[in-house]
Amino acid sequence: MPARDPRGTTRRNVTRRDFLKRAGWTGAGMTALVVGAGRGRPSAQPAVIYPDWIPASTKPPKRGGVLTRASAWDPPVIDPRLTQSVGLFQFAGLTSNRLVRYVYSDEAGNPSDLSLKGDLAESWQSDSANRVWTFKLRPGVKWHNVAPLNGRELTAADVKYCFEAYAKEGVQTFTFQEIEGMETPDTYTLRIHLKTPNTLFAHNVAEPIALIFAREVLEADGDLKKRLIGTGPYILKEHTRKVRVVLQRNPDYFDKGRPYIDEYVILSTPDAATRLAAFRTGQSDFIWLPSPSEVETARKTNPNAVVQSYHNTLAPFGLALAQDRPPFNDVRVRRAISMAIDRQKQVDTVYEGHGIPGWGVPYIYYQDKAPTVKDLGPWWQYRPEEAKKLLAEAGHGKGFETTLFYYEYFPQMTSQVQLVQQELKKTLNIDVKITKLDYTTYYGRYVDSKWDGMSWGFQSGHAIGLDERTYMYMRSKIDELTTKLRRTPDRAEQRAITKKIVDREFDQVLRMWMPYDNGFLVFQPHMRNMAARALRRTDGYGSSTLARTWMDK
């Protein structure tokens, strides 16, 4: 059954204005909700331990209802060739499919399950050299019954066209420019020839960004900015910039009987306090919260809310430096800056002890337990006096001036940026002028890479596959190891090589990762099969798991 508002009417046609009005909070009231956010919890108050995994429901699923979420993100464009933004992929994983996919939460036994399942492909295999990959498609998969596709059947030629388009232009070229050629021996077979061996290719096309779009739309419109038509469990009914996205159940989805929910509404809500107020008043079905104190605030009015502690395996954010020009092209400067930053202080204060010190390649690819600060090498340790000496050795003993721009993905990020600014000034006399940008301006400037100084940068949230996190981002720096990794099928040997890559990255401070915490996902008690896995949150790049979510109401 759909959720109901206080007047007893359904939320089926909820608008952003209705949503904010029904939340019923004034600006002052919303501010009161997040007092203490990002600050340490009083010592007298015991920490609440939340599980990091929510098992799938054993009850028969129910059909129907409207799922609503207030989102911090708005897609800059809806063309998957042109953006890696979570603003798009928070719903594109539901409108469209990939050849293969990672397991959904109701198929996984734990958050770190990296198993692959067939999506559009029923089966796949490579030759002995890992250069030729053959994918067998499911017969009978239909495009959405929307013009100009009108529910026609998906073919191998569609996938071939899509991969060729990805390779030609845009920000998704990494995987697809690796392709030397493709064949379609029959309607349901796609054979891909790679330029070089890659044992991880199937994992690359399983990433959330590798979705299959419609040839007819691209050819008719010249881009995919106006409409996104796919084969997925939901049809894009509405996309209004900075207002809302509405997805409607696809009755012809190939996974018969799914999805269970009739409609998914994502409301653009950039203010964190408004998002929290909406959840507390029942106008939002789930929410991400970055700190334990905010979870406790939410549970004061929603004691039956289900909380998943999202223990992250990587840090997507860090202090990005313009390493192609002075002074940041000097490794001594990078090492000095890194040692001048107290990462543990950020974990303990900004993230209330729940954060991680920060690393790039997910540790689950090379070891069993999460690293501590001591495991990350000498340049990750807080050693201010040594930092001063090293910066002086590099010829900057009196410090220098620089700039830093960022977007506030969550309130704690501003606290981190300001702490780094203070520590660099105090320890190294580096004056950092900070500029806070809106999301679209920040995203465009950062990915364009034409900037000086510093940014509170990111590595795209989709880029969590082992090949992307190593070969794509570090090949120019660590070519021999990253190339060897993608040619090594043995899992134990892969782990050993990955550890060497990670150690080299830390030693050269190639990417200055900062503490991070994916915090907590908080769900209304009626939600089922909604848990997030270790590398993909349900509200973001892991949105495709919502095809299996249902509401017990």
CATH number, position 446: 3.10.105.10
C-beta separation of 164 from 177 below 8 A: no
Closest by CA position to 419, among listed 409, 404, 397: 404
What range does the domain containing 496 cover?
Answer: 317-513
What is the residue whose two structure tokens read 């002086």? 392
Q: Is residue 67 part of a domain?
A: no
Query: What pLDDT is attached to residue 47?
Result: 63
Q: Residue 237 is encoded by which pair of tokens?
A: 């009914």
197 lies in the same domain as 338: no
In a shared domain, residues 345 and 487: yes
pLDDT at 454: 96
Residues 181 and 328 in one domain: no
Residue 10: DSSP 8-state: B
Which pLDDT score is estimated for 469? 84
Please check whether residues 204 and 321 belong to one and the same domain. Answer: no
Q: Report whether 80 contacts 88 (CB < 8 A).
A: yes
Decide which of 160, 188, 221 is a domain's last residue: 221
Q: How far apart are CA 474 and CA 479, in angstroms?
A: 7
User: Do 267 and 70 touch, CB atoms closer than 8 A?
Assistant: yes
> Do 216 and 321 lie in a common domain?
no
Q: Cα(538)–Cα(541) distance, rounded to whole angstroms?
A: 7
Query: From CA 479, how far away is CA 471, in angstroms rounded?
Result: 8
**Beta 66-71 vs 263-268: how paired, if at all?**
parallel
Is there a domain that residue 97 lies in? Answer: yes
Produce one character per residue of 490-515: b if its CB has 16 or more CB atoms within 10 Å, e if not: eeeebbebbeebbebbbebbbbbbbb
Residue 288: both structure tokens together = 């991400």
- 453 and 403 Cβ atoms separated by less than 8 Å: yes
Q: Looking at the structure, tell me whether residues 477 and 335 fall in a common domain.
A: yes
Chosen domain end from 193, 221, 249? 221
The total number of structural domains that make up the chain: 2
Residue 239 lies inside a defined structural domain of this protein:
no
Residues 467 and 342 both lie in one domain: yes
Is the residue at 376 inside a domain?
Answer: yes
**Is position 205 within any domain?**
yes
Give the pLDDT of residue 9. 32
Q: Is residue 430 part of a domain?
A: yes
- My answer on whether 324 and 214 are in the same domain is no
DSSP 547: G
288 lies in a domain? Answer: no
Q: Which of 181, 205, 221 is the last residue of a domain?
A: 221
- Specify whether 336 is located in the same domain as 485: yes
For the chain (length 553 residues), average pLDDT per consecutive 10?
30 44 37 35 57 95 98 92 92 98 91 91 97 98 98 98 96 91 98 97 93 97 94 97 96 97 97 95 95 94 96 85 94 98 94 88 90 92 98 98 94 94 98 94 85 85 77 84 93 95 93 88 98 89 96 96
Q: Are 321 and 453 members of one domain?
A: yes
Report if residue 175 sits inside a domain. yes
pTM above 0.85, yes or no: no
